[in-house]
């Protein structure tokens, strides 16, 4: 199954944090990274009193179910020292499941497609690099269309 994961870091060596997370993801059994978008520096979203972020999106192929993938991602965040104190606050690493195939999932702990995609320029910019023609199943629009709407 193809999944797209968003990554972000704004504490410490941001580039190294993203690379470490990517290496952890790539070392998961039944999972391989197919493509990685460029690392981009972005202003904080939501809680703005913090350092800028370094962000990227990766395209992976995995045999894990969405819930299992989520638990693996949360474990990677814990291994890397992620502490959740402030919603949208500073973090050593943040990994979000943006898409999992064309599934629409609305569970307490997992929403796919990620509900914030149309509001986040940095996510759309990275997705544009990897898959501009991908249809966002939750909104029935391409990534290019979501990008254009955000920039209108």
The two structure tokens encoding residue 118: 């149309």
Angle at 27 between CA 17 and CA 30, to 5 degrees: 135
Q: Is 5 exposed, middle or buried (0-12, 13-18, 19+ CB in 10 A)?
A: buried
In a domain, 149, yes or no: no
The CATH number assigned to the domain holding 34 equals 3.30.70.560
> What pTM did the predictor assign?
0.93
User: What is the torsion angle, in degrees rounded to the nearest 10, for the CA atoms of residue 125, residue 82, residue 109 and residue 113?
Assistant: 10
In a domain, 72, yes or no: yes
In a domain, 33, yes or no: yes
In a domain, 91, yes or no: yes
Mean predicted lDDT score pLDDT of the chain = 92
The two structure tokens encoding residue 44: 């904080």
In a domain, 82, yes or no: yes
Q: Which secondary-structure segment (H or E) carries 57? A: strand 53-62
In a domain, 29, yes or no: yes
Is it the case that residue 22 has pLDDT exceeding 70?
A: yes
Q: What digits encode the pLDDT tens for the residues 85-136?
A: 666 667 889 999 999 999 999 999 999 999 999 998 889 999 999 999 999 9
Q: Domain residues for 106? A: 2-114
């Amino acid at each position: 199954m193809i999944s797209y994961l968003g990554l972000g870091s704004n504490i410490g060596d941001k580039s190294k944090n993203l690379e470490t997370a990517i290496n952890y993801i790539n070392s998961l059994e039944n999972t391989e990274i197919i493509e990685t978008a460029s690392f981009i520096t972005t202003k904080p979203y939501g809680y703005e009193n913090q350092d800028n972020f370094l962000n990227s999106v990766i395209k992976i192929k995995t045999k894990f179910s969405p819930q299992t993938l989520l638990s693996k991602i949360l474990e990677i965040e814990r291994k890397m020292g992620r502490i959740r104190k402030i919603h949208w606050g500073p973090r050593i690493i943040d990994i979000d499941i943006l898409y999992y195939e064309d599934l629409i999932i609305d569970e307490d702990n997992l929403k796919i497609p990620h509900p914030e995609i149309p509001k986040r320029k940095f996510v759309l910019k990275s997705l544009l690099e990897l898959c501009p023609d991908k249809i966002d199943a939750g909104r029935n629009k391409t990534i290019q269309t979501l990008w254009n709407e955000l920039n209108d």
